[in-house]
Copies of this chain bind each other. A is one copy, B any other.
Amino acid sequence: MTGLNTQKIAFIGTGLMGAPMALNLLAAGFDVTVWNRSPEKTLPLVAKGAVSARSPTVAVAGADIVIVMLSSGPVCSDMFFGPQGIAPAMKKAAFLIVMSSVGVAEAEDMAGKTAELGLRWLDAPVSGGTPAAAQGTLSIMAGGELGDVRVVSPVLSTMGRVVHIGPAGTGTLAKLVNQLLVATTIAAVSEGLLLAEAGGANPAKVREALLGGFANSRILELHGQKMIAGTFEPGGPAKYQIKDTRAALDAARKLNLELPVLELADQLFSSLVAHGGGDLDHSALFLELKRLNKRLPEGSILTP
């Protein structure tokens, strides 16, 4: 897409994930205006050539592409359609790309309102966390028109690998599937390593042996290591994991789907949070399974 780097991009929400994502846009030579509720978080971006706008509506004025990385669906919706909403302030036919993780119904609702205003919508949530955001290797799950995904692909590709999942809302659905798999696989790995430990095998050796075979997963590799080391600094706090399992269960219920493994994982994470583990990394589900089996180590951060 020749000349696309001359397009104007507005980036709303430059927090833990948004800042490194915007840095990759700047590094690729794009013209980026940024806004963040705490303006000091935009300073490292300004140092790399971004313009810091004094309000969201100022940021999006004249922008061809608006990228949003805020904390939740309701926050996004208010940012777009609330009293100081940016959607009415956007150029006709400009892109509104929501890279936050939101609910499927929320995404579909926002996509509809955006279309009514003559704007182009993509939900494009990401997986990979802050390391992948910094390296520009996020997995980007895009829902919307295929033609639109193609147009903005040179922009999104600076931040990661883009896969077009289907119509508006399906990028969000793919992210929920991602979160479902993360939650359930953490539960599975917790049970596996607990069985190893209780049976007198060295869990570190079991993990090492299993990494090469059918049982291998990124969760066994990364979260399994945390379980074995007993270090549960987040990472992804358990309390946010519940937000994800609930959103996936909500989506399933609206489709009349029963997903028993997801329900069980949701219950286990809820129990972890109820026993004081909400701020621990979600890999601390290993401790919750020990608690349920009355094998919690002495002095554990969880209440017995």
Contacts and interface: CB of A to CB of B under 8 A. Distances in A.
Contacts of A60: none
Interface stretch (A2-10, A25-33, A73-81, A211-219): A211-219
A128 interface: yes
Contact of A201 (B165, B193, B196, B209): B165
Contact of A188 (B104, B132, B184, B255): B184
A255 B128 contact: no
Given A178-B210, A257-B195, A127 B215 contact: yes
A119 interface: no
Contacts of A210: 127, 139, 174, 177-178, 181
A196 to B, nearest CB: 5
Interface in A103-129: 104, 127-129
Size category of the binding interface on chain A: 35 or more
A38 interface: no
A112 to B, nearest CB: 15
Contacts of A150: none
A252 interface: yes
A248 B195 contact: yes
Q: Which of A173, A177, A187, A220 has the most CB of B within 10 A?
A: A177
Contact of A178 (B127, B173, B213, B289): B213
A252 B166 contact: no
B293 A195 contact: no
A231 interface: no
A51 to B, nearest CB: 32
B165 A251 contact: no
B265 A261 contact: yes
Contacts of A293: 256-258
Contacts of A274: none
Contacts of A262: 191
B213 A218 contact: yes
Contacts of A101: none
Contact of A174 (B128, B201, B256): B201
A215 B185 contact: yes
Interface in A143-202: 143, 161, 163-167, 169-170, 173-174, 176-182, 184-185, 187-189, 191-196, 198-202
25 contacts: A127-B209, A127-B210, A127-B212, A132-B213, A137-B212, A139-B212, A140-B209, A141-B209, A143-B201, A161-B212, A163-B205, A166-B201, A173-B199, A174-B205, A174-B209, A177-B195, A181-B220, A184-B188, A184-B261, A191-B261, A191-B262, A195-B248, A195-B259, A199-B255, A260-B264
